[in-house]
Structure formats: structure tokens, C-alpha cells
Amino acid sequence: MTVSQHPRKRDATAEHGQRRDLRYPDVPEALAVPSYDNHTHLEIEDGEAGLELAEHLELAAQAGVVGAITVGGDLPSSRWQVEAANAHERLLAAVAIHPNEAPRYAEAGELDEGLAEIARLAQDARVAAIGETGLDYFRTSGDEALRAQHASFEGHIDIAKRERLPMQIHDRDAHDDVVALLRRVGAPEGTVFHCFSGGPELAQIAGDEGWYCSFAGNITFKNAQLLRDALQVVPRERILVETDAPFLTPVPFRGRPNAPYLIPVTIRFMAAELGVDAEELAAQIASNTLDLYGPFGVEARASWRAARRG
């Protein structure tokens, strides 16, 4: 099966308007323990030449990253993730309408139809999670738009519960409302704060509720002490790691293209912050990943999903 390449291309300029360094970093030394990327966007092309999907997977293998969850944010990208996961055994998919996309679907009168399509896609055995969904008060404002975000978030929660799938949450400047909504309607089993952006207080709440915190490369940034403080609070059995590629490339490669093969860089940094061996942390995160999302292998995956559905 051939997967159509890169529906989207990332802008070559940084947020401050300067040209980005579009060279991919060298592949880091692999950890002795296999690693997983909990959240990436492989449909987005980045870099001076870009990487084809097979190249991403080959470089990841060189770095000991044996699996990744590639994540949708609208209907076209969600369909692409499912297609990619069905073509490559080392990929699983997550499907959703991103909170910043929800108002656009609602304005067009297509939110309910979009959620129905996400529910249909979620039935595929290669789908590992509903996401990314949630609330974003940084890029979206206005009562009508925020109502669409809330309605979309609740709709995705319902899908995750019905399909008995984990859920990956996008939470930006909306911690209190995300927690309140999850408590009001009931969080799905296996709730993940993707690209965790809170501090120790939110980490403590997540730990108490049994939710997961997934840390990306921005935990290595100089101004991210709050994230490093939060890492200390999260129970080890609830820690995940991700790239959110092509965004949030870890130091010392910040600003350059990100990819799943850079996961060992972030794991080593997190291990140093926690004062533990990198292989020990990698083993814990790998165990957490498989406990949450299930196996990646085709036959094992199909059996796992069938058992989950009862």
C-alpha cells in the first residue's frame, strides 16, 4: 500500500519571522531500550528536502524508536494517519478534529458530520487513540468559537469511551476548564495530556486522577522550568514522551526540523532531570506506552482491539 505524501507543509519561517535552519539533525545514539513516540504529525513536510514516510521510519529505527503514533487534526489528516498506520506496522494512528479547527467545522454546519466521520475512522484496528482534541484559549477566542470547542471536546470524549480508546488532549491556556470538563462528563480510560504544558499543580491533579502526562522537546528549553518541575511530580507509570514533530525540536537542535528519531534526546534529558538512568526511564515509558495503546503488530493489534470491544 502506498501512502500519499505530505498533505501539509510547514512554513519555513520561525514565529519571530526569521528563516529557520531547515537541516535535519544527525541521528542520536540509540538507547539500549526500544523507544516510542507518543505523538507526531508525519503528514506535515518539513526541512530543506523533507523526509518521506519510509525515511522517517528508517531513521527512527536507527535511533531505536520502534513505534510512533501519528496524529490527526482534521478530517483529511485523520484519514491520512489511518492510511499510514495500515501501511506501516510501526505506526498507529490517532484521529480527531483539533480544537482550533472545531469552530471552522461548526461555522460551516459540519461539526456533527465531522465527529461522525471521526467515529467511523476510530473503528479501524490501527487507530490507537482519539486525538488531538481539547481546548485552546491561546489561538481561539469568542463565545461562539469556544462553545464549538467545548462541544467538539465532549463529542470526542464520547467517541473515545464508546470505542474504549485512549484520548490525547490538546490543552493550551485552558487547564482549569479542561479538568472541570473531564470531571463533569467523565474522562476516558487512558486520558493523556499531550505536550504537557502545565506545572506541578496540574501534574498532581493528573496523577491523582490516573491521567498520563506526555512531555515533548520543549521540556529542554531554557524557559521551561515549570515543565521540569511538573515532571518531578508525575508518577513514573504515567509518564510518556513525544516529539510533536515537526514542532518543538529539543535542545541543542531547537528551531530545526523535528522527527521521531530524536526521541532519545528528550528521554536522556528527562532522565537527567529525574536523576535516573536513561535506559531505566526508557523502559518505563515503553511499558507505559504499550499498556496504554496496546500492541503495534498487525495480528496482535487486531486481536487487542477485538478484545477491547468485547
Amino acid 221: pLDDT: 98
- For the chain, the domain total comes to 1
Q: Please indicate, yes or no, if residue 129 is contained in any of the structural domains.
A: yes
Q: What is the CATH number of the domain that holds 83?
A: 3.20.20.140
Q: Please indicate, yes or no, if residue 94 is contained in any of the structural domains.
A: yes
SS3 content of the chain, % helix, strand, coil (to 5): 45, 15, 40
> Between these two residues, 33 and 308, which has the higher pLDDT value?
33
Amino acid 310: pLDDT: 78
> Between these two residues, 247 and 49, which has the higher pLDDT value?
247
| Residue 212, φ and ψ in degrees, nearest 5 | -95, 150
- pLDDT digits over 184-203, tens only? 999 999 999 999 999 999 99
- pLDDT digits over 9-26, tens only? 667 666 555 677 889 999
Q: Please give the average per-residue pLDDT across 95-116, as a whole number.
A: 97
How far apart (Å, rounded) are the C-alpha atoms in residues 167 and 160?
6
- pLDDT digits over 120-143, tens only? 999 999 999 999 999 999 988 899
Q: Please indicate, yes or no, if residue 22 is contained in any of the structural domains.
A: no
Q: Please indicate, yes or no, if residue 124 is contained in any of the structural domains.
A: yes
Q: Name the percent of the chain lying above pLDDT 70.
A: 94
Q: Please indicate, yes or no, if residue 1 is contained in any of the structural domains.
A: no
Place of cell 496524529: 71
* Residues across the chain: 310
Question: Would you say residue 147 has pLDDT above 90?
Answer: yes
Q: Please indicate, yes or no, if residue 128 is contained in any of the structural domains.
A: yes
Q: Please indicate, yes or no, if residue 249 is contained in any of the structural domains.
A: yes
How far apart (Å, rounded) are the C-alpha atoms in residues 156 and 174?
17
Amino acid 3: pLDDT: 62
Amino acid 222: pLDDT: 96
Amino acid 18: pLDDT: 62
Q: Name the percent of the chain lying above pLDDT 90.
A: 88
Residues 100-104: contacts with CB under 8 Å, at least 24 apart:
100/136, 100/139, 100/140, 101/73, 101/74, 102/148, 102/149, 102/151, 102/152, 102/153, 103/140, 103/144, 103/145, 103/148, 103/149
How far apart (Å, rounded) are the C-alpha atoms in residues 310 and 296?
19
Residue 285 in grid coordinates:
515509558
What range defines the domain where residue 188 resides?
35-309
Query: What are the DSSP calls for 109-167, one per residue?
Result: T-HHHHHHHHHHHTTSTTEEEEEEEEEETTT--SHHHHHHHHHHHHHHHHHHHHHT--E
Question: Would you say residue 1 has pLDDT above 50?
Answer: no
Q: What is the pTM of this model?
A: 0.94
Q: Please indicate, yes or no, if residue 29 is contained in any of the structural domains.
A: no
pLDDT band at residue 46, thresholds of 50, 70 and 90?
A: confident
**Average pLDDT score over the chain:** 94
- pLDDT digits over 54-89, tens only? 999 999 999 999 999 999 999 999 999 999 999 999
**Residues in Cβ contact with 26 at an 8 Å cutoff, skipping those fewer than 6 apart:** none
pLDDT band at residue 48, thresholds of 50, 70 and 90?
A: confident
